[in-house]
Amino acid sequence: VEREKEIENFIPEKSYSLEIKLKKDSLTILSELYYKNKLYKTKNREELIKFCEEKLLNNLVNLKKVEEKTEKKSPPLPLKTTTLIETSQKILGYEPKQTMYYAQRLYENGYITYMRTDSVRVSDYAQRMAKEFIKLYFGEKFVGRERKIRQSKFVQDAHECIRPTDVFREEVPLSEQEKKLYQLIRTYFIASQMSPAEYLIKTYIFTNKNLGKDYFLKATFKNLLFEGFLKVLKGEKEEKEFIDLKAGEIFEILDWKIKEHITEPPSPYTSSTLIKKLESLGIGRPSTYATLLDILYKRKYVIKEKGYLRPTELGKEVCEYLIKSFPEFLDYKFTSQMEEDLEKVVENKKTYQEIISFNYEILKNYL
Give the active site residue among 114, 215, 297, 308: 114
Q: How far apart are CA 253 and CA 342, in angstroms?
A: 67
Q: How far apart are CA 183 and CA 168, in angstroms?
A: 12
Please give the single-letter amino acid code of residue 290: A
DSSP label at 166?
A: -
What are the start-end ranges of the E strands in 13-79? Answer: 14-24, 27-35, 38-39, 60-73
SS3 (DSSP) at 129:
helix
- First-residue to last-residue Cα distance in the chain: 26
In degrees, rounded to 5, the angle at the alpha carbon of residue 154 between the alpha carbons of residues 151 and 157 is 65
DSSP label at 111?
A: S
In Å, what is the CA distance from 361 to each residue of 332, 334, 356, 364?
Answer: 19, 14, 9, 5
Spatial CA neighbour of 187 closest among 234, 144, 148: 234
SS3 (DSSP) at 353:
helix
* 188 carries an active-site annotation: no
Exposure b/e, 141-168, CB count within 10 A at least 16 = b: ebbbeeeeeeeeebbeeebbbbbbeebe
Number of other residues whose CB lies within 10 A of the CB of residue 259: 14
Distance, C-alpha 43 to centroid of its chain: 29
Q: Supply the residues annotated as catalytic.
A: 114
